[in-house]
């Protein structure tokens, strides 16, 4: 493009005299990159700790975490990116009431999809792992062990996904430092906690994913509290809606476990899980959650 621009008379002269907006971007970029790097370091630390127990546990942890990343990327990642743009505009305009409504909507929407996903992964861990991985050198023993890791991780999926949404909200409120500091503290505290759980308790190698879950839950709880103070609160009915979603997800999981417990991995994945999803939508519609009604109406078209 540069030759064409030069023919049109445009001359590009780079300089280091940054626009104030560019300087603000660089100030935000540093903490954001450190926070992202800390997350990756935490994953590497988990794998290294698991490798001390042999090749099997490290592989089981890695395979289980890959499945966990599906709801994180599919739901939380998308909502976090979309919500950041709108929330940033509203904060810049000092439309704080609308900003609180937007961040409440983002967390509610994420919770609506993530809570049943977490319960479903816990209930159907074995058939999912079997269908995805059990072939070749991956034996039934590997399936059972990976499924156990997945069930431990499922305890923290809700917190993992909220993390993906809350961190961009801090950026929108012009605070990149809080997520960075908490992310660093999370990694620092996770190592001794994991070592203690794996050596001083009966959990053994399962202490590694459990330590990850515990520190992220605490981190998200702190971030949620600090974001509440910074933004001034949440929309009316926000907490009650989350509780209703959680109750509907638990009921869905109980029904799924009782009805589809002995189904084959193929039927569980392609029949039982969709049926449970429809049951969850119907249940949320019946208890008056707006998301359930909207999705249910769209499916009926």
Please give the mean pLDDT across all residues of the chain.
86
pLDDT-derived band of residue 98, with 50, 70 and 90 as boundaries? confident
Residue 251 belongs to a domain: no
239 backbone dihedrals φ, ψ, rounded to 5° = -65, -40
Burial class (CB in 10 A: 0-12, 13-18, 19+), 8: exposed
Q: What is the mean pLDDT of residues 66-78?
A: 84
Residue bearing tokens 């698991």: 50
Residue 211: closest CA among 230, 186, 236: 186
pLDDT of residue 238: 86
| CA pair distance 72, 161, nearest whole angstrom | 5
Span 173-201, mean pLDDT?
A: 88
* Chain segment 15-68, per-residue pLDDT in tens: 656 667 667 777 777 777 777 777 778 888 888 888 888 878 999 999 999 999
Domain range for 78: 20-235
Q: What is the pLDDT of residues 252-274, one digit of tens each?
A: 999 999 888 888 888 988 999 99
Q: What is the pTM of this model?
A: 0.85
What pLDDT score was predicted for residue 250?
Answer: 95
Per-residue model confidence as pLDDT tens digits over 103-157: 888 888 889 999 999 999 999 999 999 999 998 889 999 999 999 999 999 999 9
pLDDT higher than threshold 70 for residue 299: no
Domain-embedded: residue 292: no
Task: Give the least confident one: 14-23, 36-45, 79-88, 178-187.
Answer: 14-23
Q: Is residue 163 part of a domain?
A: yes
Angle formed by the axes of helices 125-133 and 96-123, nearest 10°: 80
Domain total of the chain: 1
**Does the residue 271 lie in any domain?**
no
For range 182-194, the mean pLDDT: 90
pLDDT of residue 11: 73
Q: Is residue 246 part of a domain?
A: no
- Residue 14 clears pLDDT 90, i.e. is over it: no
Most confidently predicted of 85-99, 136-150, 162-176: 136-150
Is the residue at 106 inside a domain? yes
Q: CB of 269 within 8 A of CB of 127?
A: yes
Q: What is the pLDDT of residue 142?
A: 92
| pLDDT bucket at 74, cuts 50 / 70 / 90 | confident
The reply to whether 4 falls in a domain is no
Q: Is residue 127 part of a domain?
A: yes
Cβ(55)–Cβ(137) below 8 Å: no
């Amino acid at each position: 493009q540069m030759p064409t621009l030069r023919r049109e008379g445009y001359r590009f002269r780079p300089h280091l005299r940054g626009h104030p907006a560019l300087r603000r971007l660089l100030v935000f970029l540093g903490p954001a990159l450190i926070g992202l790097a800390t997350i990756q370091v935490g994953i590497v630390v988990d794998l290294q700790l698991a490798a001390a127990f042999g090749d099997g546990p490290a592989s089981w942890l890695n395979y289980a975490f890959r499945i966990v990343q599906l709801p994180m990327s599919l739901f939380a990642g998308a909502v976090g990116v979309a919500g950041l743009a709108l929330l940033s505009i509203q904060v810049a305009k000092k439309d704080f009431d609308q900003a609180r409504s937007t961040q409440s909507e983002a967390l509610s929407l994420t919770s609506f999809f993530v809570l049943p996903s977490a319960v479903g992964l816990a209930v159907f861990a074995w058939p999912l792992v079997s269908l995805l991985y059990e072939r070749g050198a991956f034996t039934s023993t590997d399936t059972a062990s990976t499924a156990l890791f997945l069930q431990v991780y499922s305890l923290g999926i809700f917190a993992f996904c909220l993390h993906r949404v809350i961190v961009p909200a801090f950026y929108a409120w012009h605070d990149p430092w809080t997520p960075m500091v908490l992310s660093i503290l999370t990694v620092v505290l996770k190592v001794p906690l994991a070592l203690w759980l794996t050596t001083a308790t009966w959990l053994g190698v399962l202490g590694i994913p459990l330590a990850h879950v515990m520190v992220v839950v605490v981190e998200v709880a702190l971030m949620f509290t600090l974001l509440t103070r910074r933004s001034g609160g949440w929309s009316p009915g926000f907490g009650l809606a989350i509780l209703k979603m959680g109750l509907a997800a638990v009921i869905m999981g109980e029904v799924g476990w009782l009805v589809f417990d002995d189904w084959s991995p193929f039927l569980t994945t392609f029949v039982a899980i969709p049926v449970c999803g429809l049951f969850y939508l119907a249940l949320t519609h019946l208890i008056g959650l707006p998301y359930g009604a909207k999705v249910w109406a769209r499916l009926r078209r």
